Amino acid sequence: MTLIQRTIDGFARSYSHAPDGVTFAPGRVNLMGEHVDYNDGLVLPMPIAAGTAVAWRARPGDEICAVALDLGEARDRFKKASPEPVEPVDWRAYLRGMAAEMRAAGLPVGGAELAIAGSIPRGSGLSSSASLCVALGRALGAAAGAPDPSPDELALAAQAAEHRWAGVQCGIMDQMAIAAGTPGSALLLDCRSLATRIVPLPLGWAVMIVQSGVRRGLVDGHYNQRRRDCEAAAAVLGIPMLRDANIAMVEGAKLDETVRRRATHVVNEIARTEATIAGFERADLVAVGKAMRASHASLRDLFAVSVPAVDDLVDCLNAEIGLAGGARMTGGGFGGAVVAILEASAVTRVTAAIQKVYHSPCGDPLEIMIED
């Protein structure tokens, strides 16, 4: 059964009538540019086939009712004009946050009945929370009888929901990739201007996403501390954001050694994003693979957001792929997924090999997704 049909059926079971419609938002995998979005840098994410579906039906009045089909059909009900925060943070925080932040931005929000389901593994580093927010934003707007908000409007409301309602001080990459991306292509995003450009995946290339088996959490995983480290570096350098720095500035400044490592990663990662885009445009898989390997080493050694199981998985993939491509951790870190870019003709061989040589810490079979 497809995700859309499962969501429609769950809605009918929960409310005893059919929905008016269904919205969908994909997840995303970040190909290059990790932890640079909140530094106003350049990133290269890609929407994926997995995502979040929200079946909706407009209802008169101020009330929003929702059921989370994947969470034991847990329910929520609140007034759209006065949602209350949720502690501890769970799916309801994102729902209430989207209703509040869309209204604060002047975007229409209708009274609604909602049923939510997804196909993105939670804690995988594939942005299930941003996917949820964007899908909810589209459903709440549709219930008000309004056209879809622009990608920028939807992404900014979703980011605000993460910041103010979930306590994660994320950048804008996930939300923009999901709201503005095109399936089968990467999206070059300038996180300062929000300018975007579609970057097609070269013919004969594939993107492989492999779950490490280590579930991650952004707040518990010190994501917010990494952002504070970057802000501290920018303050010492006397610049608005690390986007404005270069390596000479970082090496010459009187920075705490930990802060210096964080800043070094960000400056070099932005350059790696530019190199990766150039590699895509030349269809140079060797150059892209080199950037992927360097990015993972930097995230492991300078930004300190990898974990041993993820490092092992990256090493296994890089050994099997060889020089024509490469692998790196993807997402905020501390577990989750690994992304590889490789020749499409090598996918079957690499998949078979990695299933033999890598063993998930939890003992579960490997989850492997292919995007091409």
Percent of the chain at pLDDT exceeding 90: 88
pLDDT in tens, 191-215: 999 999 999 999 999 999 999 998 7
pLDDT in tens, 285-324: 999 999 999 999 999 999 999 999 999 999 999 999 999 9
Examine the pLDDT at 55 and tell me if it is beyond 80. Answer: yes
Measured distance CA(299)–CA(314) in Å, rounded: 12
Examine the pLDDT at 220 and tell me if it is beyond 60. Answer: no
Residue 214 φ/ψ, nearest 5 degrees: -105, 110
Q: Residue 221: which pLDDT band, with cuts at 50, 70 and 90?
A: low
Quick check: pTM over 0.75?
yes
Q: Which amino acid is at 318?
A: N
Cβ within 8 Å of residue 179, ≥6 positions away: 25, 134, 151, 152, 154, 155, 158
pLDDT of residue 219: 47
Termini Cα distance of the chain:
22
pLDDT of residue 332: 86
Delineate the domains of the chain, giving CATH numbers in brackets. 3-190 (3.30.230.10), 201-371 (3.30.70.890)
Measured distance CA(237)–CA(74) in Å, rounded: 48
Alpha-carbon distances, residue 88 vs 4, 68, 98, 218 (angstroms): 29, 17, 17, 14
* CB count in 10 Å sphere of residue 160: 19
Alpha-carbon distances, residue 149 vs 11, 104, 141, 193, 293 (angstroms): 24, 14, 8, 18, 38
The catalytic residues are 174
pLDDT of residue 305: 94
Measured distance CA(22)–CA(60) in Å, rounded: 18
pLDDT of residue 214: 87
pLDDT in tens, 249-268: 999 999 999 999 999 999 99
Higher pLDDT: 333 or 196? It is 196
Examine the pLDDT at 50 and tell me if it is beyond 80. Answer: yes
Chain mean pLDDT for the chain: 95
Average pLDDT over residues 337-358: 96
